[in-house]
Structure 1
Amino acid sequence: MTEITRVPLQPIAKGSLTKLWLGVVVAVLLGAGIAFASVPDGVTVDTITEGTGPRPGPSDVVFIKYVGTLADGTEFDRSKELPFPTGGIIPDGMPMQVSGVVPGFAEGLQQMQKGGKYVVNIPAKDAYGDAPPPNSPIPPNANLTFDVEMVDFMSEAEATQRFQALQQMMQAQQGGAEAPAGPPAPQQ
């Protein structure tokens, strides 16, 4: 028959069990404190596709494609294509001045790079708070999420110059379109 080696168990010292449980409680509280401290309370920007180059500043004009949603996934806004051809004078995307949007969105835009795709989460305090725009689908105290593609950005001065050139191009085209075409060609 096989004999099992016996190892005698030593008694636990008085107070050791209490110290062990106190250590476990301290570790759990420390872990909970670290987890609580790491929960973001401000704007977060998650990178989906890395962009390149510098980041826009507060006075720059960005050209973006975006979809804005509420916490339950309801879409409240979407960028639209410009309703006229731009002839490549201005980039694709919806033009917006960084300083002209809600503070949380401006903060998020300044963390992006050209060509990148991002998800921006904006807490209500950095969006519209308890006073969303009138007749808006955004309820009071709503957190907002934006899927954003940063097509391009430029200084306000450059954007103004390009929009003026676009306006001149459109006026020239309208001038040509409004000129009389002459009598219709005879029917055969």
Structure 2
Amino acid sequence: MTKENKELSPEQREKLLKTLKARFEKNMHRHESMEWADVQAKLEDNPEKLWSLNEMEGTGGEPDVVGHDEETGEYIFYDCTVESPKGRRSVCYDREALESRKKHKPENSAMDMAAAMGIELLTEEQYREMQELENFDLKTSSWVQTPANIRKLGGAIFCDRRYDTVFMYHNGADSYYGARGFRGSLRV
């Protein structure tokens, strides 16, 4: 598989679909009124989305279906790993933040990684909706999409769950921590 064609081999595709199906069936509380056969049919019609889901899986995101858009017919996947995905931590917010660091630069930024994977960072609203399904980020935190007015001033926002409450915080967009990553969403 090359990143240019963004297609999985038949073996990779089969393995990913098996993993996604098992997760779907184990976590029916995330998608009670949905059927796996419908989701799989949509995935098989969109191989580039399978590639993105494989990227989410490969970085520790454990993507799962969390919704269905009745208007577009799209299924909505979020990273549902208990803590922020391990393969996406220690990143600053975006390219501008990365380039502004004079020393001790992280290897990447959340926005660049998400774009390369074909996914989007969760918004604060999506993050809060996800937290209604179950408890996430009890030890870690996750960058979320930052409003332009905050980003223009050099900041970025992130969320986590502590004390049985979902919190939204701010930090310099160029900051990065071993316990902060990002969660993505994908519509299929």
Please indicate, yes or no, whether the TM-score normalized by the shorter chain is above 0.5.
Answer: no
Band the TM-score falls in, shorter-chain normalisation: under 0.3
How high is the TM-score relative to the length of structure 1?
0.21
